[in-house]
Structure 1
Amino acid sequence: MGDVIEATGNGEFLRMRDFIVATGNGADPLPLANKASQPTLINKQSQSTLASSATLFSRWSSLDTNRHLQSLSRKAETKRRTNVVTSHWKDLLRVSLSALPLLWRQLVIVAVWSTAVCLALLLPVDAFQVMRVPLNSMPFVAVTTITLNLLLAFRNNAAYDRFWEGRKLWSQMRSNIANFSRYAAAFDKTSSLEEDLAKQNAIRLLPQFANAVKDSLRFGITRSSESSKAQQHALPFLHTSIPPADIIMELQQYLTPRPIMKLPSQGPFLAILSALIEQSIQLQRIKTTPPPAAYTIHLKQVLFIYLISIPFTLVRDLRWLTILVTPLVAFVLLGILLISAKLEDPFGDDAVDLRMDEYVADIEETVELVLLNMVRSDEAKRSLDWIEPCSVLNAFNKGQF
């Protein structure tokens, strides 16, 4: 029975291994398929399985696999960005991703102000005795600290919610595009080469939709001309500034005359198109709805008053060290405010923004994999020649163990 199990499972294992390597690592599946054609223990069903596997991989390799390999390479290159979550102590030295490069001018101004306060209060004859004011216990600073902390916490939480919501919408968009391409490849039957080509072009509009959403979030929507629309049909993967709604209309016009729209299975197609429109609008809502101006202005004013008051609170106890401590306090507070401002609009191309280029590359890769696996309607009923699981049970009943 062990020989039968090895012979039964060997072809399936090699077939699955070749599929994973070919689709996951971008390697050429043909050498692995050739190696799989020479197993040590096989039966007739295993031979037919391996032969079918080699034919299937040959069909894949005859298609445009260069685009798939380029997509994998682009994805690997994108993942080498510096905006990667780590927990190493060296993160303390990653100044490029911190707020310091953008705040050094404000910190210099705060340090200069602290120096001026120290010079005014420490150099003359005991200014504290003259003023007779307990500067180290100013009630204004204590009250302002509580209010400022609440405002900054609310601002930071609201900004991160926008960032996280944008990421979820991109994930939902990728899922819907993958499902639409899968449904179209499986249920939209074609009977001619022209219909097959039109079907592939329609599926290739899906990553173009993701590109259009990305461009609209970064650069705004510009109405495309008729020439650019014609170029879009000729080169589906060309990055143009076509509004996302126009691409959905193109997909709707393709689906309307198709026989699949007369069947009960039309529901998922229409639902996915509606979901894509909704997700693009939700992303635009995040992009075009900033926090209220009155709230932002008030927060900045309170923070400014707090920072100019800090030196008067610290100078009596810390004296000349106030010049060093005050910029540190300013760095903490201004850094939170700056990070919140960055997270409010996560659709740029900075290192701290959402990696939309990587998301679009993943969508293109998913669609390309669907196209590589898509077959004509006359081959849709082709058997995959999987080995029946009952062969092991039959061998056991015959006493081959």
Structure 2
Amino acid sequence: MPQLSDTPRRPTYPLAHATRLKPRRWPLVLRFYKGAIHNLIILPVTLHSLFTALIVYLDRHVTGNLGLPASIVPSLSIVVGLMLVFRNQTSYDRFWTGRNCAQQCATCVRNLARSFLVSATGKEQWDEDSGGLSEKEKADTEKVIKVLIAILYAIKHNLRAEYNIPPTSFSPDENGIHTFRSEYDALLPPDLVGFEDQGLGLPLQLSVIVEGYIRRGFNRGWFHGPQASQLTVQLNTLVDAYGKMETIRSTPIPVAHLIHQKQVLALFTGVLPFATVDDFGWWAVPIVGLVAFTLYGIEGIGVQLEDPFGYDKNDIKMDGIVEDTRREVMVMVEEWKLAVEGGGTQPGRGGMFE
């Protein structure tokens, strides 16, 4: 069976946006951009290398006695290693938890959309002879499905501290004039009034609309009691997953730990030139630079993973997750509309809502 990276790429295959779109052309060892953290560490590595060069020059040409015993290095390296391991484990746990919660939100939207569309057939469960959906019921169902997708967009933007209803960006129209547009304004009810200026997040506000649809579906006979309860559980799970991502976003690593880690790194790489100057001479400059590159690089990875919901290359692909879910759900909506409006499926084509 061919690997995913060997198959032809199409714009509409499942998970097209959340997965890597093309195979890597260069070995990762040769990459210095697009995901690398060199821009975060170039300054401290350069400064420590220059400081080492100064120490070597003073030791060789001025004082001649700046060297320290090499045995001091293992004592400090143990502390530095423990701190970096703790930092990276904590940061990656935040990244992994955030990714799982993002997928949980998408899964809940899939489950709710599937249940809503299958149940909204226009036939009450105890009366197979009842009529089809009214226009109001069709519009209500399509509206709530769009609201489900909008919840994912709202979650993504709230985690990036991009508020307003909906978040807008400059985009040129057909005349080349830049106007404010949104990526999901068409999914929101046209009469929606936001309360973000009063402290109410848009994801929670939209979840109230979904909860109201579940209640209406129960009253219409589309959902029986246990099913309506299970749908509410799915909605609660979605809100709970969003709350966990909010916790990650709003709870950074304690500043006391960050301060001490920076100081310990600076102390270790500052002492290292004195411990290597006698044995390595000018070779101490690249050696210290390499050690600083390694240690500050590990620390830089922790910085990148600490808040995984932004736009960095190493962040969670929130845009791709949301877009893939939107495409999946909207395909189901189109098939559902064919079933309830067209009286079935197209010739020679099986439908999922028969």
So what's the TM-score if we normalise by structure 1?
0.68
In angstroms, what is the RMSD of aligned CA positions? 3.5
Q: Which residue of 1 aligns with 2:333?
A: 371
Deviations 1:303-343 (A, max 9, x none): 11111101001111110111111111100000011100110
- The more displaced of 256-265 and 203-212 is 256-265
User: Could you tell me how far 1:373 is from its partner in structure 2?
Assistant: 2.1
From the superposition, tell whether residues 363 and 203 of structure 1 become closer, same or farther in structure 2 (CA, over 3 Å).
Answer: same
Equivalent in 124, 146, 149 of residue 204 of structure 1 = 146
Q: Which residue of 2 aligns with 1:176?
A: 108
Mapped contact 1:115–1:323 kept (Cα < 8 A): yes
- The more displaced of 284-293 and 370-379 is 370-379
Instruction: Output the amino acid matched with 2:93.
Output: D
Identity rate, percent: 25
Equivalent in 189, 195, 216 of residue 233 of structure 1 = 189
From the superposition, tell whether residues 75 and 274 of structure 1 become closer, same or farther in structure 2 (CA, over 3 Å).
Answer: closer
Equivalent in 28, 45, 50 of residue 91 of structure 1 = 28
Instruction: Output the amino acid matched with 2:188.
Output: Q
Alpha-carbon distance in structure 2 between the residues aligned to 1:294 and 1:124:
39
Give the number of the structure whose residues are more often helix, by fraction.
1
Equivalent in 298, 307, 315 of residue 345 of structure 1 = 307
Alpha-carbon distance in structure 2 between the residues aligned to 1:202 and 1:180:
10
What secondary structure sits across from 1:189 in the alignment?
Answer: coil
Deviations 1:238-295 (A, max 9, x none): xx99610011011112222232355432122111111111011011011111111111
For structure 2, the residue ranges without an aligned partner over 5 or more in a row are 1-8, 123-132, 168-181
Structure 1 moving runs of 4+ over 4 Å: 73-82, 220-225, 228-231, 377-382
For structure 1, the residue ranges without an aligned partner over 5 or more in a row are 1-24, 27-68, 387-401
What secondary structure sits across from 2:42 in the alignment?
Answer: helix
Q: Which residue of 1 aligns with 2:233?
A: 271
Q: Which residue of 2 aligns with 1:154?
A: 86
Alpha-carbon distance in structure 2 between the residues aligned to 1:348 and 1:81:
19
Deviations 1:55-105 (A, max 9, x none): xxxxxxxxxxxxxx7xx39975775568x7x6x872111100222222212
Alpha-carbon distance in structure 2 between the residues aligned to 1:246 and 1:167:
23
Alpha-carbon distance in structure 2 between the residues aligned to 1:201 and 1:193:
12
So what's the TM-score if we normalise by structure 2?
0.76
Q: Which residue of 1 aligns with 2:51?
A: 113
- The more displaced of 108-117 and 263-272 is 263-272
Q: Which residue of 2 aligns with 1:32?
A: none
| Residue 330, structure 1, aligned to residue 284, structure 2 | no
Equivalent in 249, 252, 259 of residue 211 of structure 2 = 252
Alpha-carbon distance in structure 1 between the residues aligned to 2:165 and 2:26:
48
Mapped contact 2:80–2:265 kept (Cα < 8 A): yes
From the superposition, tell whether residues 73 and 188 of structure 1 become closer, same or farther in structure 2 (CA, over 3 Å).
Answer: closer
